[in-house]
Chain A
Amino acid sequence: MAALFEGYTLCGIGPTRNSSNSGILGIELGRDIDHVLVTDASRSVTVYKVSDQKPTGSWTVKHGQIITCPAVFNTQSQEYVVVTDDRVVRVWKENDVHMEKAFKATVSADVLRVLSAAESEAVVLFCCGAVRFLDSLLTSPQQPIEDVLAKEEIIRWSTVVKAEHQLVVLFSTEQRDHHWLYAQRFNPNTLVKHRIETEPGLSAPISFSATCRGRNLHLLFLYSNGSLYESVLPLRISATGAEGVQALPRSLRLSLPLGEEELISGAAVVLDEAHVAVVGFPHPSAGTCKDYLCIWNTHFQTLQASKEMSGRICSQLWCYSGKLYVPHGKMLSVIPFECQKSSLAATMGKLKQSRSESKSCSLLSSWTAQPYGEITQTPGFKSRMSTRHTSVVKSALTVDQIIEHIKTGAVEDVQAEVGEFIRLTTQTDLQLATGRMALELVSRSQTDANFYPHAVFLQLLETQYLCYSVCPDLLSLAMMKKDFHLCQIAFQIFPDIPEDVTCACLKTILSTPDSEIETVNLDTESVIFMKMLTQTQSGLEEEGGQQNGFCPPAIETDVSDAPSSMLQRDPLSLVMSCPVGLHKGALLNEVLQTAYSNKPLLPHLKDLTVPQVIVFLQYLLFLYLKYSHDAHKQIPALRTPSFSQIIDWICLLLDAHFTILAVAPEAKRLVSDLHKFVRSQVKLYAELGKIEGSLQVLKKSKQSEDFGMYSIEVIELF
């Protein structure tokens, strides 16, 4: 997940010269990550300490001169470098008061930019495409500069990337309708020219961003139609090098939604391998207003965070050390952000484990095979794919049309249309479409109180293409509407429910009276499991609790506390009636089986009220006792909470509500029951540990044969 935090204004911006540029020529990193160098489009260079929002130094050029490239800080010499009037390179130090008095040198060709990467030499890029190291240029400023580019070729964008001691200058050029990308590497000096593919009708890329990951350069470029492409260049090229123009293979990473009007400007910056920040594009659910800063996840194609910026955004965007610099309106804002690696994989991993566990004891008969049941059985989509390949028939309606219908149509119509769509659409299209449809349905349901298409949601869930991240509001909507059936299915299918939502659902389930839940239609298998679980108890009693040779350990070992006869009479010691209704139990079971991490769950678990905690703990104890009897093993069911899940939740609950459970009088009996049982189990396992120890010794002693004091043996060497 990614998040944008509250931003602050760094400085105001002077009058704008044209529409695409704000009054800022460029922002570069200063001497450390807390200092930035803002080059004004007019005549000044200012250093800001970002955390203090204060300028620490400012330099202005004389009247009549203009700054033609963003100033940079040369980390090697600890000096600032700027170019004025295209040809005059000025170098000054932090404590120089006037730029005029500082060192300057006039070079023989127009300079486009001075580029500086951290801990490497500054590089000068000329308008003609030639590249020089700053130091070597300043030693002989009037050295001839060769023309690299063709006559009408002009540089649109340039950057420098440093990784693994390799410095690469990248710049893109435009020559009539052709677009090129040059990569200049040093040691040895090589210049490679790449052709940027353009589709007919597409203009030039409007924004570039380059990062280095591993041994490759990743170049991201944004087109005005909202397509975000990525190209990968090797950081080092083989010494032989390829001659001539090379193609630049690209792959589409993201399609940004467009408003009605054609875009002219926009900017994108890579934040990490999965996230990009974009300005100048409309928010997908906020109409055509373009003044949004958005963070998109390119892996899952999801919008992760967004922020509306007051005033017009000028499609300029910089990113330095966890902060985005956005000029908008008449100010420059600094917006800190955070991109966390998505924990989807981790949660999936955890979930898979529990699934395979439950699968091993699957004795499912066909009568419980519900549509989603079948899907949970096979996490892959193979069966679906095979059926779909045979009948690739184009749907009558497109996604866009359906979405339009969703906005206005009646529940029944929408249901029919979506059903048809799902039936007819191909695998890949469906994958993209389900999310959009679900989002649209949820937003309609949220605004329109009478609109709640339960069946459509079920249909969409059934496709398996939805997950929590795609449509976060679905689960909360279902909870609000008390649609427990939908919740149950979502719990079964979504692998990525955040811990706070899990807790909120748990709270709703616990707070809803049994009478209400019992009327709800739930997944039959889970209810049957609950039914059988509560019934096995009576069966066990009839057979004297000896069904599979299990001797209740509490009776056997816990003699010290009370006479065993008394314990046997206590119904709570081992046989306990289910504290919640069957349906509630089934729902709680689903909660128990969701993936979670302890640390994020714990604070949310504290939100439960005391009666809720007690009921939940009672239920967990009930399950624990049942499982200790191995009752669950006799019930054929696919999805059952595992023993370790139950124990984990007991631990978590005790952890979260320790003081409450210690103080609350109504919890006393429950806690003491739990303690008694756990203690008896611990005793049992301690005994088992002893047995294990002796068995191990027996095994060991068998291995070491006793040869006695003397023997005559035959050995063979090979």
Chain B
Amino acid sequence: MGEFKVHRVRFFDYMPSAIRALAFNQPNETMAVARMDGAVEIFLVSDKFFQGKIIPGRDQCGIEGLTWVGERLFSAGLNGQITEYDLKNQRVKYTIDAYGGPIWAITGNQQGTHLAVGCEDGTVKLFAVNEDKIQFERNLDRQKGRIVSLSWHPSGSKIAAGMIDMIQIFNVETGQSIHRMLTDRGTSRSKECMVWCVVYLSDGTIISGDSGGMVKMWNDHTGTLIKSHNVSTCDVLALSVSRNEDSIVAGTSEGFVVQFQFISLVLEKNDKEWVRTRTFRNHTHDVRAVAEITTAVVSGGMDTQLVVRPLLDKIEVNSSASALQKIIFPHRSLVSCARKAGLMLFQYPGHLELWRLGESEGQGIPGSSLLVKTNPEKLLHLKVKGEDHIRCSAVSPCGEWIAYSTASSLGLYRLHCDNNNISITKISKIPKVLSSAKLCFSSDSSHLFSASTQSSVHVVSLSQSGCKLVGTLKPKSGSHQAIHLLAASEDGKWLASANSDHEVHVYNLQKKELHCTVPIYSSAVSAMAIHPETNCLFMMHADQRMFEFSIEQKQYSDWSRSVQRNGLHYIWLERDTPCLNVMFNPQNPSHVILHDTYMFCIIDKSLPLPDVKTQFLNQLTLKSLPKEKRKSESHAFKVCKTFREMLHVELMSDQSLVVVERPLVDISTQLPAPIKQKKFAT
């Protein structure tokens, strides 16, 4: 099969941001996640939790709450502003100042007519949700002290507000407070009790979680405490109720999630009670947000991981759906490589880093490390101006051009590199329309493709003197969702684009028109590339299925059909991270190289496909076999699990592989210290 020289890179200091809020949209089965840096991500629950959309954050936005109103997504933060997102084009639609100081909570009513925000100044402000914008309507009675948490009664007539040491119930109609329920300060009388989260159930029960570690059930009619559960010694930070209101999950700052269920204590009796049932310990740090979806509990917090913990009573056990899923890295590549020049571009939220790979000396046997002759070198540290974070970036294959885009602008730089002197020139006068969701250079570095709004792609020609917008490729019809993947062919003839509605369009670059559209598949495309020789488009989907589409013949290739017939091995299908990059080996046209977070794999299309009985991960077995026997035992999928937590894998022009690893240990050491817990034997 072959030997590879691997550049094992661990100096990409990628640091994911902590999760602050979750909002689940039941009809669309989408989960919105807000991170501390202001980024909002949309995960497709039904599509193996694929990260379908990413709206990059911005400095100083301090997002605190996230809520869906119908199909529309709103957030509010400590900067005092309410933001609505344009999910189609994956950017901020507008922001409105609420004029009440920092906003701690935002929530929309079930009817989809109003938004309520809780402000530092003690007001609950109601905004009417109009067709295109939201409009301030009025304040509810102002209270002393900040409003920390809010929850609408499902009827929309009452609002419960969590404050310091108390919970207020407001009549929305009159704006007056109906009840004031005081929480107990617990053991430490001097410390105020923050009601971090409230949930208002349709039967009038109010459930609160507070800084005393208590989950309390209140009656809104009498304003009395029904039951109180001591969950944690620290804070209860988040609550979420299931759709049919029979289960509640609470996230604590000790890193565990507690489930309460509304069940009768005696079988077949009707007097139900809230009973603490399960505890999930999947986090090392504060759980800042929880959401109970139909079949699972989703939680996230300071340890930056999104954990999907299936509820085993709601799904068929022992399927891939019953496995715990941890989403650690974004489902987009943050690294791009200049294959011919041996350069890597790392994308951080606020800056870019360009590195040159090191060189080795001598040969080595498989499994050994080579002597590093020259160390990798950081050539460039490019800071982005403005508050917006970088959406996407790319370096041209020759290493001469660097492009990045934020929500508002596109930056294009030309790199001059003679021996050790590096200088860059910024290309000015770039058309404003070029702000992009995905950037891609042609293989000869003569053109830059920039995915724009309405599923269109701008083509920019690059030359010594500057750049010029030479055309725009538009799909004939269909959706206008933003493009998240672009792939240009080696011969410069074809360009493929994939958007969030799973549409894949192929454009003829010479004629500058749409060539064909790949049949739409139910799962999102997570990676794709065009084969340099056969011009087949190879697509990886979030559900781990793969297709090869011949662009010239406008149909699926024979190999792709045989894969569909044969089916993929269950071990392949059960992987829980999507493939992030597809590459081809110019020296062996039958090879396709893929990678996800935990493995990279070479698919040899000339070999037979594995069936259910075949040992799928057979590299160790093959290694132990004599050479002549290997041929008969081997199958098409050659999976390498030597490397862990990979952000990117790329095959360079000199046949060496670049593997960018980001070990979890390195991330966890940079996290703030968790709450000190007494552990056995420490």
Contact = CB atoms under 8 A, between A and B. Distances in A.
B619 A714 contact: no
A717 interface: yes
Nearest to A690: B681
A713 B371 CA distance: 9
A708 B358 CA distance: 14
A714 B8 contact: no
A712 B376 CA distance: 11
B367 A715 contact: yes
A367 interface: no
A710 interface: yes
Contacts of B5: 712-714
Given A710-B11, A712-B6, A717 B368 contact: no
Interface in A668-718: 689-690, 693, 707-718
Contact of A711 (B4, B367, B369, B681): B369
B305 to A, nearest CB: 21
A712 B10 contact: no
Given A693-B681, A718-B622, A713 B370 contact: yes
A714 B9 contact: no
Contact of B9 (A689, A710, A717, A718): A710
Contacts of A693: 681
Interface string B617-646: 001001100000010001000101010000
Given A718-B1, A718-B619, A718-B623, A713 B681 contact: no
Contacts of A690: 681
Nearest to B4: A715
Contacts of B602: 717
A717 B619 CA distance: 7
Contacts of A717: 1-2, 4, 602, 619, 638, 640
A716 B11 contact: no
Nearest to A710: B376
Interface string B583-622: 0000000000000000000100000000000000001001
Contacts of A708: 10
Given A716-B366, A717-B2, A718-B630, A710 B619 contact: no
A466 B360 CA distance: 79
A713 B8 contact: yes
Interface in A640-688: none
Contact of B3 (A709, A711, A712, A715): A715
Contacts of A713: 5-6, 8, 364, 367-370
B7 interface: yes
B7 A712 contact: yes
B372 interface: yes
B266 interface: no
Given A717-B4, A717-B619, A718-B623, A712 B366 contact: no
A179 B332 CA distance: 84
Contacts of B622: 718
A513 B369 CA distance: 78
B365 interface: yes
B370 A712 contact: yes
A718 B376 contact: no
Is the contact region of chain B dominated by helix, strand, or loop, or is it mixed?
A: mixed
A707 B11 CA distance: 11
B431 to A, nearest CB: 39
A708 B663 CA distance: 11
A714 B366 contact: yes
A712 B619 contact: no
B8 A711 contact: yes
B375 interface: yes
A689 B375 CA distance: 44
Contacts of A712: 5-8, 358, 360, 369-370, 372
B669 to A, nearest CB: 14
A716 B3 contact: yes
A79 B3 CA distance: 82
Nearest to A718: B622
Interface residues of A, number: 15
Contacts of A707: 8, 10, 369
Contacts of B363: 714
B364 to A, nearest CB: 5
B203 to A, nearest CB: 44
A325 to B, nearest CB: 37
Nearest to B361: A712
A287 B3 CA distance: 91
Contacts of B9: 709-710
Contacts of B375: 710
Contact of A715 (B360, B630, B634, B642): B642
Nearest to B634: A718
Contact of B365 (A710, A711, A714): A714
* Residue from A710, A714, A716 having most chain B Cβ neighbours under 10 A: A714
Contact of B7 (A689, A710, A716, A718): A710
Interface in B640-682: 640, 642, 681
Contacts of B634: 718
A714 B370 contact: yes
A714 B376 contact: no
A708 B369 CA distance: 12
Contact of B6 (A689, A709, A714, A718): A714
A6 B255 CA distance: 62
Nearest to B665: A704
Interface in B369-402: 369-370, 372, 375-376
B358 A716 contact: no
A713 B367 CA distance: 7
Nearest to A689: B681
A715 B4 CA distance: 5
B603 to A, nearest CB: 11
Nearest to B1: A717
Nearest to A714: B364
A714 B367 contact: yes
* Residue from A690, A710, A711, A712 having most chain B Cβ neighbours under 10 A: A712
Contacts of B6: 712-715
A709 B377 CA distance: 12
Interface string B51-77: 000000000000000000000000000
A714 B361 CA distance: 12
Given A715-B642, A718-B622, A718-B630, A710 B10 contact: yes
Contacts of B360: 712
Interface in B312-363: 358, 360, 363
Given A689-B681, A693-B681, A709-B11, A714 B3 contact: yes
Contacts of B640: 715, 717
Contacts of B2: 716-717
Contacts of B3: 714-716
B370 A716 contact: no
A179 to B, nearest CB: 54
Contacts of B630: 718
A290 to B, nearest CB: 54
A713 B643 CA distance: 11
Nearest to A708: B10
A712 B9 CA distance: 9
Given A707-B10, A708-B10, A709-B10, A714 B4 contact: yes
A714 B364 CA distance: 7
A710 B358 contact: yes
Nearest to B620: A718
A472 B567 CA distance: 67
3 nearest A-B pairs in the assembled complex, by CB-CB distance: A716-B366, A718-B622, A712-B360
Interface of B: 1-11, 358, 360, 363-370, 372, 375-376, 602, 619, 622-623, 630, 634, 638, 640, 642, 681
Interface of A: 689-690, 693, 707-718
15 contacts: A709-B11, A710-B358, A712-B5, A712-B8, A712-B358, A713-B6, A714-B5, A714-B364, A715-B640, A716-B623, A717-B2, A717-B4, A717-B602, A718-B623, A718-B634
Given A709-B9, A716-B366, A718-B619, 4 more contacts: A712-B7, A714-B370, A715-B4, A715-B6
